[in-house]
Amino acid sequence: MSLNHQPLSQDFIQFCIKLQVLKFGEFKTKAGRLSPYFFNAGLFNDGDSLLQLGEFYANSIEKSGIDFDMLFGPAYKGIPLAASIAIAFARKGRNLPYAYNRKEAKDHGEGGTVVGAPLKGKVLIIDDVISAGTSVRESVELIQAHGAIACGVSIALDRQEKGLGTLSAVQEVEQNNAMPVISIAQLTDLLAHIERSAELAQHLPAVQRYQQQYCVNAYLKTAH
């Protein structure tokens, strides 16, 4: 599902480069691939950057037209992301409930593994990127166990890389869970940004090679 909003995606990429959340060089991914770029959402680590990030997510979600009732942020990265998006929507006039999970169940206080609003209705899962889809699968199982419906996933960057088979990791999540994945930006948006930037031109060949080697060809043709 291609939900690509060019101006929003380009603004987001520029924002990430400025904060050095998006860096260029040589980085080893979880899959063992040597990537010419690295996206580190952990560097959205102050109030201002988190506020802006939440607004980028909220705008992307709003423009997708997806129908949802609440947000869920899987531990740990999803927790501040979901909170920042809930705040962004509140500023838009929509007061959304949100919840997150603990890694381990708590046997005192409110107990359990879910913190925040009760999981009910249509739940939108929030994450930074999708690699193997493990976090999404666990989130879907948790949401369903509470009698709610996982209706989609919202991520910051879709790397458009191959998953276990011929599909991309994002496409696998969409197919396996029968729900859409919304991204603020995709690898094709990053390439378009590099192509227009004299300062980043030196990185273009490496990113293009990486795209050809590790990304899904059919995906690339429909991404623009």
User: Residues with catalytic annotation?
Assistant: 106, 108
Q: What angle do CA 113, 49, 17 make, to 5 degrees?
A: 115
Q: What angle do CA 186, 157, 38 make, to 5 degrees?
A: 105
Q: Which residue stretches of 22-168 are H helix?
A: 47-64, 78-91, 134-145
Tokens representing 182 are 């919304």
CA atoms within 13 A on the CB side of 66: 28
Taking the C-alpha atoms of residue 214 and residue 155, their distance in angstroms, rounded to an integer, is 20
The dihedrals phi and psi of 103, each to the nearest 5 degrees, come to -70, -35
Taking the C-alpha atoms of residue 89 and residue 167, their distance in angstroms, rounded to an integer, is 32
**Across-strand partners of 73?**
100
Q: Evaluate the CA torsion angle 213, 217, 219, 222 in order and state its sign.
A: positive
